[in-house]
């Protein structure tokens, strides 16, 4: 998607601090962190939101959770815990329409961060 900022991050057209990458997933630091650790995990396939998921996307979404677990361990979050959040659509507070999962931690989080 040529006008999608997260697709541009995947293509390195927009710089970001990448913390994990494989063939199907990329994870990078959120530019406006809401917690001591705030990382975004996205599939490289452009999927607009959770509402647009198809049956064949199930595996990559599961693998995003496994990548989040790995990153959480590397960042020292595993023992005290962390949060994985997906905002879906306008009422869910989604601002970037390339599905993404926020990994938040490093401190005690409030209900809505």
* Active-site residue set: 100
Beta carbon of residue 53, minimum distance to ligand 5GP (angstroms, whole number): 16
CA distance 51 to 32: 25
Residue 11 C-alpha from the chain's centroid: 16
Q: Check residue 45 for interaction with Zn ion (CB under 5 A).
A: no
CA distance 30 to 33: 5
Rg (CA), the chain: 13
Beta carbon of residue 71, minimum distance to Zn ion (angstroms, whole number): 20
Pick between residue 58 and residue 93 the one whose CB is nearest to ligand 5GP: 93
Q: Check residue 48 for interaction with Zn ion (CB under 5 A).
A: no
94 binds, among Zn ion, ligand 5GP, none (CB under 5 to 8 A by kind): ligand 5GP
Segment contacting Zn ion by CB under 5 A, of 25-33, 46-54, 55-63, 88-96: 46-54
Q: Check residue 8 for interaction with Zn ion (CB under 5 A).
A: no
Task: Give the residue among 15, 47, 19, 22 at the shortest CA–CA distance from 103.
Answer: 19
CA distance 47 to 34: 24
């Amino acid at each position: 998607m040529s006008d999608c900022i997260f697709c541009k991050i995947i293509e390195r057209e927009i710089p970001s601090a990448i913390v994990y990458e494989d063939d199907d997933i990329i994870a990078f630091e959120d530019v406006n962190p809401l917690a001591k650790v705030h990382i975004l995990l996205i599939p490289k396939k452009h999927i607009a939101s959770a509402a647009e998921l198809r049956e064949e996307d199930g595996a990559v979404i599961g693998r995003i959770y496994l990548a989040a677990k790995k990153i959480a361990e590397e960042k020292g979050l595993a023992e005290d815990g962390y949060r994985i959040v997906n905002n879906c659509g306008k009422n869910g507070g989604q601002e970037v329409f390339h599905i993404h999962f926020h990994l938040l931690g490093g401190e005690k989080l409030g209900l809505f961060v």
